[in-house]
Amino acid sequence: MRASTSGRSFGLATLLMITLSFVSCARKDQPQHPPRPPQLTVQLKRIEVPGRVLSIANEAIAFEATGQADGSNEVNVSLRRWQGRFGEFQRALVFEYDKTGKVLSEQQSNVLPDGAIAIKARGGNRYLIYPDLGVRFNNAYEVACKIQKARIPKTLVPPLCTQIFCTDNIFKASQLKDRVPGLKDQSVEELGDAVIGGFGGTGDICNECLHTSEPVGDFVPARGCSGVLPPYEPPTSSSQILFTRIPPIGAEPFNFQIFKLANGTTTNLSNNEQFENNPDVNHRTRKVVFFSTESGLMTMSVNGTNRSAIPNTSGGGHPVWSRNGEDFIVFITLPGNVDNTIHRIRLDGSGDVLVAQALSDHVIDALDVIDDDHIIFSQFSLGAKSDLFIKDMRANTPPVNITNSPNVDEISPVVSHSGGLIAFQVRGTGGERDSIHVARLTLPSTLTEIAVIRLSDPAGDFVRTCDFSGDDSSIIVSASVIETEGSTNTLQLFSIKLDGTGQVRLTFSDGSDSEATVVP
């Protein structure tokens, strides 16, 4: 199951643009307006950095030139966000490559006063950009290139990666022989004597940064080092993911629709003129419950067929399924409204029971079902932070505040498929990114935090809804992304492991994707 979208996360923006065109016949002796500058034939759109591209600080970014095939023009790419992260670097290394991964050119570009670089972009080609972050970064990439080409046993590559990228010490490359015992009988003169280290990295870069066992090793951004980018392998999963897609502003019709992602392919399950969102998949039956402007809460199969309305739910939203043997739906009435409530109802519209009432002047904005007796939900008062609450649906007792943290904004709890874990989002403060917290849940009200996850670029600072993967080893999360550099912000789906590694972007939509729910 998945937590529904926070009532503060989205508002339905209606944008009506009316263009009036006037045509007149001008006399030849009248001054004529200068011609409009031609529109760019190609533009750059952010794409996922290809797999096995070495990036010490996740500084690499990638773009694809879209538009006229084989057309070309100069495009400015803003690196101001990266200057905000890494300081005022003055240069960037740009690798141009085609869809097969072959590097077509490499060039060094100076950063303009406005924080941009100029790229001669050709339609269909792709561009990998590395900000020049200084001597130690450049030296480390040069040494990595030499390691990849040297006759060093593959078993020694991981400890070399750890020393270069995952320690806090700064040292000379010649000292690697002393720092990695297995190099005692190896010649390392070819690695040089440049100053490296001090990066303090974690995760995949420490384990096997160069993948020397692969036919094509990692791409290393050292001049003349790598002529081919390793092939990009689209993410695959045995699980299907249902989610809500919001089309770009100006799209016609502008309505939310429920999509399915399976084996890298997206399918519109709604495919109608209604506004439909908040899908949730039953763990046992794989039946889907969702909201539709057609009649309120509805159910359907995971392929979009067998649609059926749930009577007496016209004012309901954010529905979630029961867990075990008893089929019922728990939902929020009047989502986004102060003093709203949570109800439980059977699929035939009978047995409507008031489960929980928001505190005075509060809004319940998200919930999930722990088991057939307990729910977990978030609520906030206007202008204040949100907390998480647990409620026994079978008892006439008040909800229990299980976070009770006035200075931390916890929202959108979601329960794992096994029922033993919860994940929730914490809004970032002081310029920090939003984070995902994973905790063990022990009823009646104990949380034991086990992980804090923050996504990295191309994911942005803001995360929205999430769900656990089918095997509960990863989180599927919606996060902000700058799609076209300097212009369009969207939400896209990412997968990330519970230990914070293995981040993969799952959707590449011109619209916004959120409210993911996994079919186990």
Per-residue buried b or exposed e for 39-61, using 16+ beta carbons within 10 Å of the residue's own CB? eebbbbbbbbbbbbbbbbbebbb
For residue range 306-336, what is the model confidence (pLDDT) as tens digits? 999 999 998 899 999 998 877 899 999 988 8
Q: Which residues pair with 375 in a beta bridge?
A: 369, 391
The predicted pLDDT at position 204 comes to 75
> What's the first-to-final CA gap in the chain, in angstroms?
9
Output the pLDDT for position 40.
61
DSSP string, 302-371: TTS-S-EE-TT-TTEEEEEE--SSS--EEEEESTT-TT-EEEEE-TTS---EEEEEPPTTEEEEEEEESS
Candidates 449, 420, 419; CA nearest to 437 is 449
Q: What are phi and psi of 370, to 5 degrees?
A: -80, -55
Region of residue 332 (phi > 0: left; psi between -120 and 50: alpha; otherwise: beta) = beta
pLDDT at 453 over 70: yes
* Per-residue pLDDT tens over the stretch 172-214: 998 998 899 888 777 777 888 999 999 998 877 887 778 776 7
pLDDT in tens, 74-84: 999 989 878 88
Q: Which pLDDT score is estimated for 250?
A: 67
Question: What gap in Å lies between CA 197 and CA 184, rounded to an integer?
Answer: 20
Q: Does 253 sit behind a cis peptide bond, omega within 30 degrees of 0 on the bond before it?
A: yes
Averaged pLDDT for residues 445-461: 89
Q: How far is CA 206 from CA 54, 120, 163, 191, in A?
A: 11, 35, 8, 19
pLDDT value of position 37: 44
Q: Which residue has the tokens 């002393």?
A: 178
Query: Within a 10 A sphere around the Cβ of 10, how many other Cβ atoms?
Result: 18
Place of tokens 């931390």: 408
Confidence class for position 430, pLDDT limits 50, 70, 90: confident
CA distance 408 to 341: 23
Note whether 67 and 42 are within 8 A (CB).
yes
Higher model confidence: residue 459 or residue 133? 133
Q: How many CB atoms lie within 10 A of CB 480?
A: 20
Cis ω before 215 (30° cut-off from 0): no
> Mean pLDDT over residues 243-259, rounded?
83
Task: Give the sign of the dihedral formed by CA 261, CA 287, CA 369, CA 336.
Answer: positive
Chain Cα centroid distance, residue 118: 27
Is pLDDT of 275 > 60?
yes
**What percent of the chain lies above the pLDDT cut of 90?**
54
Q: How much is the mean pLDDT over the chain?
A: 85
Per-residue pLDDT at 93 exceeds 50? yes
- CATH 2.120.10.30 in the chain is located at 240-519
CA atoms within 13 A on the CB side of 455: 29
Highest mean pLDDT among 19-33, 249-263, 357-371: 357-371
Q: At 138, which helix (H) or strand (E)?
A: helix 135-149
Helix (H) or strand (E) holding 415: strand 410-415
Confidence at 3, pLDDT banded by 50, 70, 90: low
Q: Candidates 2.120.10.30, 1.10.3720.10, 3.40.630.30, 3.40.50.2000; correct CATH number of 240-519? A: 2.120.10.30
Highest mean pLDDT among 117-121, 185-189, 251-255: 117-121
Compute φ and ψ for 361, nearest 5 degrees: 65, 25
Most confident of 41-55, 95-109, 241-255: 95-109
Cα torsion through 395, 397, 401, 402, rounded to 10: -40
Q: Are 478 and 492 in contact (CB under 8 A)?
A: yes
- Omega before 520 within 30 of 0, i.e. cis: no
pLDDT given at position 472: 93
Structure confidence at residue 20 (pLDDT): 24
Helix axes 157-165, 135-149, angle to 10 degrees: 180
pLDDT, position 194:
92
Report the pLDDT value the prediction gives residue 456, as an integer from 0 to 100. Answer: 84
**Residue type present at position 181:** P
Q: Residue 357: pLDDT above 60?
A: yes
Res. 28: pLDDT tops 60:
no
Q: What pLDDT score was predicted for residue 12? A: 33
pLDDT for the residue numbered 483? 61
